Amino acid sequence: MLSYFALITLVKLSGLLIPFIWLLIIADRRGRLFGTLAIVLLFIVSYINTYFNLPDLAYPSLIDGWLMWFIFGMILVAALRRFLYSPNAAVARTAQSGDGIIGEVVQRFTGAFGWIGKVAMVAVLAVIVFIILGSVTSLVTKMNPRPAVQSIKTDMNDDTKNAPMPIIKNSAETPVVNAPQTISTDMNNSLNSFKNSNVYDLNHMRVQMYKGKMVYVAPVEFSGGFWRYIHYLKVPGYFRTNATDKNADPKFVAKPMKYTPSAYFNNDADRRISAHSLGYSMVGATAQLEIDDNGTPYYVRTLAKPISYLNRNYDFKHYKVAVLNTITGKVKVYSPKQVPKFVDISVTPEFVSQEVSLFGRYRHGFWNATSFGGHSGVMKPTTAGTEGGDKLTPYAYKGRVYYFTGMTSVNEHQSSILGYTFVDARTNTLHYYREHGNVMTPERAISYAQQDINPQNYRGTLPLLYRINGDPTWVVSMLDRDNNSFMKYVYLLADGNNQSGTYAIGDDAQSTLALFEQRVEAKTGVTATIPTGKTVTGTVNRIVRNDDNLLFILKNNNQVYKMDTSAKNFNPLFQFIAEGDRVSFKAESTGGKGLSTANVSLSTFKDNALTAKK
């Protein structure tokens, strides 16, 4: 591994080879000695920088490095030849005042500062040349996004019929995902699960599928720097938490890991991956942890390369995936079609975020997206996500992880969804679905959710879009602003504009869904789906009437059942149920045992005492 970084350093400094040979030809013995010592010292400094800072190893960056040293070296040797080693060096120094304004400036500057001034002038000239070259590449990258957009594997759909958007048919299917902020707080509160927990920390976590369920995985990392690492050398394991159960407790998995991003020297996970990334850029701040079905932890990182030297946009088709075994330190690099099955996220959120942004803005060309073009189909991702610079939200659908974002107009005055992108996190296929209905943006949904329960001053996050009774519905998780604890769910009809009867607030996903369906039914007349659970039969034990709700419990059953008396299909006769009545109905099963209410399906409610006698 040390020899690999030595090779990379040699590649970077190889631009000095031609200038150095020129120096050996023109210089005297002393000049050759000092030149050789300077090259050796430069190699040592560059090697240390390469090893510890892990510079970009994509070919354009390597070429930039080569050109920088070549230009600097050639200018430096040319200056030495003119002012020091030329037979007419003395004449050149005195005659330079006659070379015009530039020559006079150079003569005065170098005359005032001696050889230091000469070196500074060389450096300035090299920087100017390099800035010009960098400006050219930046301009080409900005104005020629088409090759990058064409490299995106896309699946265009004119409607949302086949979108991988969860369709909720009953409360038991509600796939609401816990907010990352809440999971992070819960995991940090569980750090005392292992010995010497005070020397470790949790820096990042990733969503993935584990044995068919969506989970968060967060590795334990060293906290306190180099000396903590020297003392312990390994981290004890990682945390795993169910991503769809708000009552799930983080589970610590004892799997000592030697190769992690917080380790040092050759045990640094990113350094080991960098040693296999020649020609590619490591995308993202650091490698992310994933586990296989046996619980073995691996660090995974996307390796991308630019389109060309001048066009620095990523090639979204020809990328690689590096997988590091945290126990053995072995790194394997895979092409997209060869990635191991346990890897659910082959492409990092940062990679997908750039992909989605370029797709939305430039799929019809650069000029179309400017003020000179027609702006046909120009869109941008919404910014209410949890990953990829707040543009993406992970979805679990049929055992796969998708990065979801809504696409909206670049016109700041518009707040409706034009379509959706679902990027398969394993294959990097971008699926676009056009939305023909009136659907508000997730930012607007969060704003409404916070407005509805503003007295509690909760913070809305993780807006997820589902289909409920065929209607797109935003589900927003409300968190306590101080400690990120989950507090409420808010369901909002996506085209309801926060009108009365188009949203519901509750403590759990199931009862909130049932209340939402009842309210939408009362508002729109659309019949809610009938619960698919078992019919509940029993004798009424206690009754409480509260505003628009009628709550009751049955004998030998602590579950609280609720009927919405404001619902459109509520039978006024139901208000006269009394203690001792024999009733039967279907209700959404919450399993709360009295800790939450179960909403009664009004279309299935029967009370024998209210049945007319013939």
Same domain flag for 470 and 451: yes
Cα 429 to Cα 356: distance, rounded to the nearest angstrom? 11
- How many Å apart are CA 554 and CA 537, to the nearest integer? 9
Which of 328, 346, 364 represents a domain boundary (last residue)? 346
User: What is the enclosing helix (H) or strand (E) of 243?
Assistant: none
Q: Indicate the residue type of 537.
A: T
User: 520 and 553 share a domain?
Assistant: no
How confident is the prediction for the chain on average, in pLDDT? 85
Q: Where are the beta strands (DSSP E) in 426-517?
A: 430-434, 459-468, 471-479, 486-493, 503-506
- What is the number of structural domains in the chain? 4
**One domain, residues 456 and 566:** no
Distance CA 570, CA 602 (A): 6
**414 and 500 assigned to the same domain:** yes
* Residue 149 within a domain: no
**Is residue 294 located within the same domain as residue 440?**
no
d(Cα 421, Cα 429) in Å, to the nearest integer? 10
Same domain, 358 and 272: no
Q: What average pLDDT does this structure show over 511-537?
A: 71
pLDDT in tens, 89-141: 555 455 444 455 545 555 555 555 555 666 677 677 778 877 888 889 899 99
Tens digits of residue pLDDT in 51-62: 999 999 999 999
| 599 pLDDT higher than 70 | yes
Last residue of a domain, one of 308, 324, 346: 346
Strands 213-222 and 235-242: antiparallel
- Is 494 contained in some domain? yes
> Do 330 and 375 fall into the same domain?
no
Q: Is the domain of 120 the same as that of 250?
A: no
Give the domain extent around 384: 352-524
Using the 3D structure, point to which of 494, 524, 554 is the last residue of a domain: 524
Query: Is residue 600 domain-resident?
Result: yes
Give me the helix-helix angle, 29-53 and 2-13, nearest 10°. 130
Assess whether 370 and 510 both reside in one domain. yes
What pTM was computed for the model?
A: 0.81
Q: What is the pLDDT of residues 429-475, one digit of tens each?
A: 999 999 888 888 888 888 888 876 665 778 888 888 888 877 888 88
Tell me what pLDDT residue 568 has.
67
How far is Cα 513 from Cα 531, in angstroms, rounded to an integer? Answer: 11
> Could you read off the pLDDT of 390-409 as tens digits, one per residue?
899 998 888 899 999 999 98
150 found inside a domain: no
Residues 189, 87, single domain; the answer is: no
* Residue 165 in domain: no
Q: Specify if 436 maps to a domain.
A: yes
Is 187 within 8 Å of 202 (Cβ atoms)?
Answer: yes
Q: Are residues 71 and 86 in the same domain?
A: yes
Domain membership of residue 612 (yes or no) is no
Q: Which segment of 320-329, 533-542, 558-567 scores lowest on mean pLDDT?
A: 558-567
pLDDT tens readout for residues 136-174: 989 999 999 999 999 999 999 998 888 888 777 655 555
Higher-pLDDT residue of 295 and 513 is 295
167, part of any domain: no
Q: Are both 377 and 490 inside the same structural domain? A: yes
d(C-alpha 319, C-alpha 388), whole Å: 18
In the structure encoding, which two tokens stand for residue 93, read together? 């120094």
Task: State the Cα–Cα distance between residues 423 and 427, nearest whole angstrom.
Answer: 8
